[in-house]
Structure 1
């Protein structure tokens, strides 16, 4: 089987990293097209032996992208097109229909009121639903996202749930990793470190975490990620007088390569997710795989599972003072690693790849029987 994955861009983000991990486990030959911004993940994919093409799309209304992408699909003799993220789903499904190739989409970032961090509007919802009909189904990364798709009007028969996955062994705690990462960041071995990972965008509400840190004396914050909110978060840290306790390593090192997330998780003592809403909550699952206790405000990956599968994770208030109290309690208890809960094994990437291949096979059987 030969598949083409179409994604909006290949900068640092959960969907982009999930695509790379998935391609390592799918038993199919796969190429990738990025509509815009090849980004650091493009280099990682090429290192894995994946052919990556940059379409050079100039904006949301660059309609030339559709015939250009359709030509790539037709010339590549692909059996299936798989699209990821809103813009790629809209343009990719249209191009696949023109090329006469079946398509499926993964919905990575649909919230109640936002999609990919942007407010939902009637217009983008209508366009999404119109082009959804051009494909052969939509994959939801959680039961929560599947429910949101149904409420939008996507027929249940067209929705498939394939959770995001992780390679748990990659995140297993390592004392040497912790020591080396803290040394690079100039964080003392005995410092209590609060951690967070994600795009620096309004929906992640990292400003709440900064305000909580201002009420948690002595603790340091390791905030991993980049995005449009970086400067405002730096200004807030300055206003709160905590710049000496806040570490913002960005998303890439000096060489432009993606940072070592397992090493950064090893350097933390407790992980916090303050998102207003999530489609899955991949960073939370990775933190649990690293043996970190987790405080979160919204995480469908955990909320969709029985409580006994999510030990070590606690849902908390988003009020800075209440969050600070929780952090102080963890700091006083001393640093400790916890055994990864059952949720980590549940979201093994090999399970996700197997589920997806079954869906691919079913689509190809269905479309071949009609031809």
Structure 2
């Protein structure tokens, strides 16, 4: 009997075996993939196809490259048990709903189609800070658009279904404004709440979820919505891969945990490390259009660097006065680029700077207790002379 696990590509709605074909829509090339963590190598698949070789082992491949594009994606926010009723029957996330539609082409809850659905927005986004609890204070940008898109599709599939959108705000910017207008034409109801008056509450009474909320648009009237299905519109979080690769490549991350560019306008896909570029939702929450734009920019930047064949280094890099260096190692731990190491010099340990990696940030200069490490063209004595000259000019 083949081993099975929850299918992550349908967000756990269905199960899959170790062999997947294709693993998910848009896979290239369109060939089967084997999940070796699930496969028990029973050999049944090799009896129906001579193209499968279960004797293969994972390999570590060393590549010498001229540029790296980091596109590690995101992971959807996972509500805590009880958050907006999550875990109750009939309360699911938007991803789980999409997985259900993609897998079965229908919406079925407890064996029947729902007659009423409530979408609750900003779950895992624009959260307020609470003591002892992590808060995602940013807007995930894509959630409103994704919820409206799914709601419009469901209304076309289930003509008689009643759909409510419980929102703080609706941000369907650009061409996606058409989705908001279409939802209005279909008779979908927008209910706006004020977070200062309390967030929506979801309870479970008589076998049905009930959403309780104060509606700003009806002079703060408290509404109770008995529905068959509650959909939590969850935001984005940095993927585990994003966190791991940021640590390995020494890429800066913002307060939201996503990878940080040098400048949002002037250098939007570049990092502080030359030759390393970021793209898509590894950089920030965004939709498909913005992801494609950043991916194109990162690819163009990488190709311009690789096709050039060489790179120009900054002349203002750190250097070490070996006579003054005491080998404390503080500069090594402080350097964000891994450009400094400790080496043996005539029986004693001294710092050494790899000028190809150094960016001249000066972090090492600030922590050196003996003043042995300096920046070319910006030594401490030069800066002191400039300060004295500037002071003398004002006298």
Question: TM-score, normalised to structure 2's length?
Answer: 0.29
Question: TM-score, normalised to structure 1's length?
Answer: 0.31
**More strand as a share of residues:** 2
Computing the radius of gyration from Cα coordinates, the structure with the larger value is 2
